[in-house]
Structure formats: structure tokens, C-alpha cells
Structure 1
Amino acid sequence: MSQGLSPLSAHLGMLLWAVLVGLSFPAVRVMSELPPFSLTSLRFFIACGGLWWLARRSTEHCPSWRQLPLYGLMGLCLAGFFAAMFWAAYHATALSMATLFVTVPLLAFLLGLGFGVERLAWRLPAILALGATGALGLAFAQAVGQGGRLQFGFGEAVFFLGCLSTALYPVLSKWGLATGRLPASAAVRTFWSLGLGAVLIGLLGLAVEPVGRLATMTGPDLLLLVYLGLFSTSLTFWLLQRATAVLTPGAVTAYSYLVPFVSMLLLFARQPERVGWIWLPGSLLVIMAIMLLLRNGRAPA
């Protein structure tokens, strides 16, 4: 389904991805009292339900035995990131986690070089460095006045492994496409990787969480979970897989720099007094990096 997709269309899709991910954070905070691993597993299963009608239209909707190990590894990447993120939230500072997450696009670029799906050139790393600087500026602006501090301990080390895991996800997708191991349909790739990720993180939830607390879920909680599953999971991962077909892993993951900018806009809409000039340098650098990525998207593939 990605055949005929232009690089510019892929970039615009990732802009929508950043907006949807940024808008999902307030909804996630509302449900923070529920067991996170089990909740994420349910969210992934709901996303798979939303993708099934699209995935089944492909002639390759049933994976072969040769594809299952790769799908399993992609699912493990998703489960590994969310497990590390939720665990580190209680053992690492928010500023340290935000700073470490900035490394994801560069990690994706380096891993992509190792898998042969990135080219060794200066332009993309320069754009990634610009975006990373801007994202760091936004992270420090958010930490000002909140007692945020930068440190690196065991919690941060675990979260860094999670960052490595999520950086590997688009690299494996691109490598699977380049070698013919994965189908052309973005919906099929998204469906099976999310499905196996849901199983893995669900098993982790059964092992370490009081799953019975899910019974306290209210009607509004369920509606939020369905929204998160269909829009900030199903649609966002489909957009990511769609863009992976024509962009490199480093370019795809670079849009994560835009997520704190979207969060800043939400904060400004709700509490404009909390957004001052300290947010401006980071915002400008992130916008410049995204504009450079979009400009590259207008070039022939």
C-alpha cells in the first residue's frame, strides 16, 4: 500500500504522527492509576482490531513461518520500550528520561548504518543534531521551576535500553522491506508487530501487576482507552510503517523531536502563564530541523 507514496507525503504523515502522539499524553496521565502494562496490552489489542479490516485486504495478511521471527522481534522492541518507560518512570527523573529519549533518532541512524538501510552522509546527522539540540532545550525549559535534575543511574540505564529498543523498531521494518522479508502493506506490518507486542507486554503485566485493578476502570476510562488504541496507537504506528517504506529510520524517528513542541502548545493553550521566552530557542531549533526534513522530502526519491 506504500507503493507510489512520495517522500513528501511520508513526511506530512509523520507530522500528523507527531501531533497525535503529543495529544495523547494528557489522556495517558488521566489513566495513570491503572496497571500500565496491562493497559498498554489492551491498547495494542484495540489497535489491532481497528487495523484488521485494512490488513485483511492484503493478499499477504497471513504471515509465513519465515516472517514470524521478525514480527516477534519487532513486537519485542515495542514491549521492551514500554516496559522500560513505565519502570523507569519510578526510578529516573523526568529530565533525565527526556534527555535520553533525544538519542533515539541518532540511535536509529547508527543502527540503520549497521543494517545497511542508512547512507553514511552528513546531511541527516546534521539535521538530527539540530533537532536534538532543540528537543533538549524544550526538556530543560519544562524542567525549570519543577525541580528537575539531570542524573544517570540504574533507572536511566534501563530507560536507555528502552530507547535502543524503540530505535531498532523502524530499522527492522526497513530492513525487512529492503530484503523482502516483510510485505509491502503498512497495515499488515503494523497489525502483526502490534499484536505480538500486545501478547508480550500482556504476559509481563500478568506477571508483575495487580491485573484485578482493571476492574476499577470507569466508562470514561474505557472511552479514553478506545481513543488511544484507535488513534494514538493504530493510526500512529500505521503512519510510521507507511513512512518507513520511503524514508530512512533516522528521518522517521526525527519527528519525535516535535512531540515536546506539541505538548508545549497544549500547555500554552491551558496555562499560558507557564510558557515563557525560555521555550523559544528549543522551539525554533525543532521547527528548523523539521523544515529541513520536509525540504528533503520534496526531492526525488
Structure 2
Amino acid sequence: MSSLSKSSAATPEGAHAGMLLWALIVGLSFPAVTLLSDGLPPLLLTAIRFAIAAAAMAVVIRGARDRWPGGRGLALYGVMGLCLAGFFGAMFWAAHQVTALSMATLYVSVPLLAYGLGRLFGVERRNGGLVASLLLGAGGALALAWVGAGGAAGGLDFGLAEGLFFLGCGASALYPVLSKWGLERGWLSDSAALRTFWSLAVGGVLIGLLGLAVEPVQALSRITAADLLLVAYLGVFSSGVTFWLMQRGAAVLTPGTVTAYTYLVPFLSMLILFATDPATIGWQWLPGSAAVVLAIASLLRRPRGRPALTPTP
């Protein structure tokens, strides 16, 4: 069995480094997604991505002795899969009715929601310093989103579509909380690779079923060879590797800390924008960038926090 499937987590320092890599991969994935052909069904495409990622992880976990979860573990993977399906379903449905600024504004709630849900499930401790870091990062990410939207005022109108996307954000925040909760109770494998595989497999099936229910399957006939190669890349790296890094980090970091790295994504998108279009560089990007960097730096300086419990048989 490979070293990837043997280790469930890194040291806190290694977990933070992994989440920095996670943010880099996610940030680079957004430009890659724009290269896909227009008119492809997003939910079915996501299901294909997850299937490719799960197949890649299946190679990694082959030979693992505990690769089949128990009844409680399988049920928990089902709930975690529903979290993924709920988020992606809400995101793709709201994308046609909600402004990009509104979605960015609502999405910055995920780390704070993860902290609150973590407190509810008992996997987060009361931590005023962490909350302050999350609020600082949220403010910085919002500032970057506002500048990226051209400084448009009044970008958030809270209606049915926004409410649905906010519920999707809650589902996204619940995913690492459930992973931590199940790991501490011994319901989930102590291998980050196995947890990643089952999350992707169950989530991919549920997202695929949702896609079959609401999207025209014949739209997949428009997919090209270039699209397939891009989807394969996104599946292995943007889904497989990033989920593994998140599962690896969740074993030693708290859900609020793990999800806080989403604040780095708009910052990295800004750097990519500067590299491709230097004329966009301006002082207006500085406050948000400084807030995000300070928030992540404060997380790196924080102690380990709540450790993962030793799984029981």
C-alpha cells in the first residue's frame, strides 16, 4: 500500500502547508474551467469529475485492509455525499439567477459556518482568536470580490436564489465538520485517502442522479477531446488531490481553520489577473489582500487546537 493511503494526517505544520497547496490548486482551477466548451451540463460534468477522481484514489487505496466502511461509516459518507450534492446543486442553480458578487459574498460565510457547526458537533472549542482571524479573512475576501466586481454597490439582494445558495454554503461547511466528527468516533477510516475515495464516490453518485433529473443528458454529446482531457485534469487534481488535502488537514486542524483557506482563493485569482493583465494593478486591491494575508498568517501562528482523537475499533 502506498504511503499516501497509509497516512491519515500530517503534523499541524504539514497540514497547513497542504492547505496552502489546496488553495493554489483551487485558484488555478477557475481559469481552467473557463476553457470548457459552452453548453455542457455542469452537474453531470461534476459527476464525471468525481468519478475520475474516485478512480484515481481507488488506485491509491488498493490493498488497504479497511477499505470497506462499516454501516455507520457508510451512512455518514452518505450524509457527506448529500452535503456535496447540495452545495454543487445550489451553486449551479443559483449561478443563473444570482450575481457573482452575491455568490462571493455569501460564500465567505463558509469558514464561520464551519466554526459554528463545529461547536455544535463538539469538534471546535470556543476560540475568540480564531473567530477574529475568520472575520478578518472574510472582510478581506469580500473586499477583493467587491474590487473584482468593479466596485459595484448593492451587489447582495437576498431572495429565494440567494437563500438556496446560502443553504448550499452551509452544506459545504458541514462536510469537514462531519468528517472530523466521524473520524473522532472511529466511524471513518484513519486513512485520508480512503475518506477521500468514499466521499468522492458517494458524492459523485448523488450529484450524477441530480444531474440526470434536471439536466439534458444529450448535452454531453457536445463534449470534445480537449474537454475530456481538461475534465480528467480537474478530476484528478481539482477534485481528487484537493479533497485528499482537505481530509488530511481535517485530521489535525479544526473545520474552521481548514475552511479558512478558501479566503486565499480570491487572493490567488487576483495574482493571476495581475500576471495576465498588469494594467489592472491598483491600490484598491491592497486592503483586501492585506487582510487575507494577515488572517492566514494568524492561522499559521496559532497552536494546533483540538487534536483528533484516536479512532476506536
- Give the counterpart of 1:223 among 221, 226, 229: 229
Deviation at 1:49, TM superposition (A): 0.8
After TM superposition, the structure 1 stretch with the greater mean CA deviation from structure 2, 189-198 or 137-146, is: 137-146
Report the Cα distance in structure 2 between the residues aligned to 1:111 and 1:218, rounded to whole angstroms: 41
SS in 2 for 1:66: helix
How far off is 1:59 after superposition?
Answer: 1.6
Per-residue CA deviations over 1:131-184 (Å, capped at 9, x if unaligned) read 111101101111116788222111110100000000000000000011111110
Distance 1:3 1:22, change over 3 A: closer
1:5 aligns with 2:2: no
Instruction: Give 1:212 deviation, angstroms.
Output: 1.1
Alignment-derived partner of residue 310 in structure 2: none
> Which 10-residue stretch deviates more, 149-158 or 112-121?
149-158
Any residues of structure 2 matched to 1:129-278 within 5 Å, and which? 129-144=135-150, 149-278=155-284
Q: Deviations along 1:242-272, whole A, 9 cap, x unmatched?
A: 0000000000000000000111111111112
Q: 1:42 to 1:3 in 2, by over 3 A?
A: closer
CA–CA distance in structure 1, aligned partners of residues 173 and 305 of structure 2 = 25
8 Å contact from structure 1 (residues 44, 195) kept in 2: yes
Structure 1 Cα separation of the partners of residues 16 and 128 of structure 2: 20
Cα distance 1:77–1:14, how it changes in 2: closer, same or farther (>3 A)? same
Aligned-partner SS, 1:67 = helix
> Out of 290, 293, 296, which is 2:302 matched to?
296
Question: Deviation digits for residues 220-257 of structure 1, max 9, x if unmatched?
Answer: 11110000000010000000000000000000000000
- What is the rounded CA distance, in whole Å, between the counterparts of 2:9 and 2:237 in structure 1? 24
Asked if residue 284 in structure 1 is aligned to residue 290 in structure 2, the reply is yes
CA distance in 2, matches of 1:4, 1:205: 33
- 2:122 matched residue in structure 1: 116
Q: Is the 8 A contact 2:101 2:145 kept in 1?
A: yes
Kindly indicate whether the alpha-carbon contact (under 8 Å) linking 1:55 and 1:185 is maintained by their aligned counterparts in 2.
Answer: no
Shift of 1:210: 1.1
TM-score (norm 1): 0.96
Contact 1:97 1:156 in 2 (8 A): yes
Superposition TM-score, scaled by structure 2 size: 0.92
SS, match of residue 173 in structure 1: helix
Unaligned runs of 5+ in 1: none
Matched, 1:24 2:35: no
Q: Which runs of 5+ in 2 are unaligned?
A: 1-5, 308-313
- Aligned partners of 2:183 and 2:189 also within 8 Å: yes
What is the CA-CA distance between 1:53 and the residue it aligns to? 1.7
Give the Cα–Cα distance (whole angstroms) in 1 for the partners of residues 195 and 294 of structure 2.
31
Q: How far apart are 1:5 and its partner, in Å?
A: 2.0
- Tell me if the contact between 2:50 and 2:201 (Cα under 8 Å) persists in the aligned partners: yes
Aligned residues: 301
- Tell me how large the CA RMSD over aligned residues is: 1.7
- 1:107 touches 1:164 (CA, 8 Å); kept in 2? yes
Give the whole-Å Cα distance in 2 for the aligned partners of 1:252 and 1:246: 10
- Say which is worse superposed, 234-243 or 20-29, in terms of deviation: 20-29
**In structure 2, what is the equivalent of residue 93 of structure 1?**
99
State whether residues 9 and 248 of structure 2, in contact with CA within 8 Å, keep that contact through their aligned partners in structure 1: no
In structure 2, distance between residues paired with 1:169 and 1:300: 18
Matching residue's letter, 2:143: G
Most deviating of 23-32 and 97-106 = 23-32
Moved more, 140-149 or 157-166: 140-149
SS in 2 for 1:30: coil
* Alpha-carbon distance, 1:66 to partner: 2.4
Amino acid of the structure 1 residue aligned with 2:113: L
* Closer, same or farther: CA 300–46 of 1 in aligned 2, 3 Å: closer
Deviation digits for residues 85-137 of structure 1 (CA, Å, limit 9, x no counterpart): 01110111111110000100000000000100000121111110111111011
**Residues 1:295 and 1:65: Cα distance change in structure 2 (over 3 Å):** same
- Tell me, yes or no, if the aligned pair for 1:91 and 1:155 is still in contact at 8 Å: yes
Preserved CA contact (<8 Å) 2:140 2:289: yes
